[in-house]
Structure 1
Amino acid sequence: MKPSTRLRQTLSPLRPILRRGERMVPGYLVVGTKRGGSTSLADWIAGHPEVSPCLSEKGTHYFDVNWTKGEAWFRSAYPKQAPGKRITGEASPYYMFHPEAPARIARTLPEVLLITCLRDPVARAWSHHAYEVAKGRETLGFEEALDAEPDRLAGEEGRLRSDPGYQSPHWRYHAYQRRGHYAAQILELQRHVGAERVLVVQSERLFADPKGQLAKVWDFLGLSPFVPDDLQPQNANRPYGSMPPHLITRLQTYYRPHNALLSTIEGVDVSWPEHEPN
């Protein structure tokens, strides 16, 4: 959803007028989803000539795993104002899923714009599992991991909410099904920052028509039209093989109510056909 003209007019006087040499305040965050195309989208945004990206190549992960390092540490990771640069930001696909991240973002960056990139949740879960196996963080097969997920995640959300320093490998790396609860995550982001500050991009459309989808992103961020030189997606060519048909059916059935709820959220336009993921 694009911020309204009234919103932009209201925000403009509140934004600090930075002089050259002063450190920029993040104006956007790509908040997820994991294995949903957010890496490619973040790289393309960072390549816009009016964007001055975070000094840390991988982002700060401040609002999820590095919250206890403090706001001064977070702000030090951003560049100083330079001619022609209008906005800075970063990406973390865990921001969308960490239960405390939306509230932390809203408190720290009350004017920030959030972008999500959503992929067919069935394909996303399959890709996510293959990624964790490749990283050495998963030893279970896909079906075993799906079966183990409820026990792995039990109590983890409460621990993350009650202890700012708590780290949960299961919640971060093994929530193959739960990460696909997009509607709940989008509504939580909107609740904290406002629906007009959240843009939802569909991953499949982004890669099928990157120029058209990026035009919406530039408009949302208030940037000039721009076409990156290299529009090749990152992390898109990993061989995942074919998911067993019974697991496709299982996950499609599981996600139907979540996808149905997502389709009712104003400003969200995504849809996925029920077919075997590539």
Structure 2
Amino acid sequence: MAEPPRVNFLIAGVQKGGTTALFDYLGDFPDIALSQVKEVHFFDDEGQDWSRPDYAAYHARFPDPAGRPCGEATPIYAYWPQSLARVAAYNPHMRLILMLRDPVQRAWSHWRMEYARGAETQPFAWCVRHGRQRLFEAEPWGHHRAYSYVERGFYGEQVARALELFPREQVLILRSEDLRAAPAPALAAVRDFLGLPPAPAPAPRAVHVGSEFDYGSQLTAVDEDLLRDIYKGDDARLQMLCGVSFR
């Protein structure tokens, strides 16, 4: 490595889990250095030569931290294969923040985002049933950036992977519902996790509120029951690992 790690914390997951709100709130603290853009997408970049990664190019996306905790928020890192292993190779002392949201609501929100931007044309009910087969035609096998509505909700699997690579004290688990309902305690937890003293919390605000759109689909009770059943075992694993459950 040409230079020591500049980045020492990541909001590494999950997509549609409140990471934009957390990044936005952290930007109000002058004693935290953030990337120039929210999602840098370095450790999930399959075009990078991972035998000789260009960390200088990564560091160029950040201001001089001047002794401050320095981080970014790319929520695919917790899901994308090899991303967290690449993070550990870059900085084994990295602190990871995982923002988790009810996986059924997360899947529904993810689908709406992809449908609204035209990446998805199929209805939600089809996507969470037959559409999962599309991931086995993707590269890397079994993963997809857009169609992973169900797969990104396996939080127990993602937390287990993180804890295989990093000590438990380097991983902070937050619920997006808690950040939305009461930002101050959640932000206090983040500051403590980053080794910073208490500070007045920014005023609560709505961040990244979606616009009205005709999705042509609804999240039905049948769809929700299906997904709850799919996630049942993984949720039990999540609860065992970190005490968080969405049952």
TM range (shorter): 0.7 to 0.9
Gapped regions of structure 1 (runs ≥ 5): 1-21, 162-167, 274-278
Aligned equivalent of 1:276: none
Secondary structure of the 1:115 match is strand
Aligned equivalent of 2:62: 78
Q: 1:100·1:160 contact (CA, 8 Å) conserved in 2?
A: no
- C-alpha distance in 2, partners of 1:259/1:102? 21
- C-alpha distance in 1, partners of 2:4/2:33? 11
Instruction: Give the counterpart letter for 1:189 in structure 2.
Output: A
| Alignment of 1:54 onto 2:35 | yes
- C-alpha distance in 1, partners of 2:183/2:154? 25
Aligned equivalent of 1:120: 102
202-211 or 29-38, which moves further after superposition? 202-211
How far is the alpha carbon of 1:155 from its aligned partner? 5.5
Judged with a 3 Å threshold, the aligned counterparts in structure 2 of structure 1 residues 24 and 104 are, in CA distance, closer, same or farther, namely closer
Across the aligned residues of Structure 1 and Structure 2, the Cα RMSD in angstroms comes to: 2.3
Q: 2:21·2:207 contact (CA, 8 Å) conserved in 1?
A: yes
Aligned equivalent of 2:238: 262
- C-alpha distance in 1, partners of 2:219/2:140? 32
- C-alpha distance in 2, partners of 1:199/1:233? 23
- C-alpha distance in 2, partners of 1:208/1:271? 17
| Alignment of 1:153 onto 2:146 | no
- C-alpha distance in 2, partners of 1:153/1:209? 36
- C-alpha distance in 2, partners of 1:39/1:269? 24
TM-score, with structure 2 as normaliser: 0.88
Aligned equivalent of 2:166: 193
Gapped regions of structure 2 (runs ≥ 5): none
Number of residue pairs matched? 238
How far is the alpha carbon of 1:126 from its aligned partner? 0.5
- C-alpha distance in 2, partners of 1:130/1:237? 9
Q: 1:153·1:171 contact (CA, 8 Å) conserved in 2?
A: yes
Alignment equivalent of 2:219, drawn from 243, 247, 254: 243
- C-alpha distance in 2, partners of 1:135/1:119? 22
Instruction: Give the counterpart letter for 2:78 in structure 1.
Output: M
TM-score, with structure 1 as normaliser: 0.78
Identity of counterpart residues, as a percentage? 33
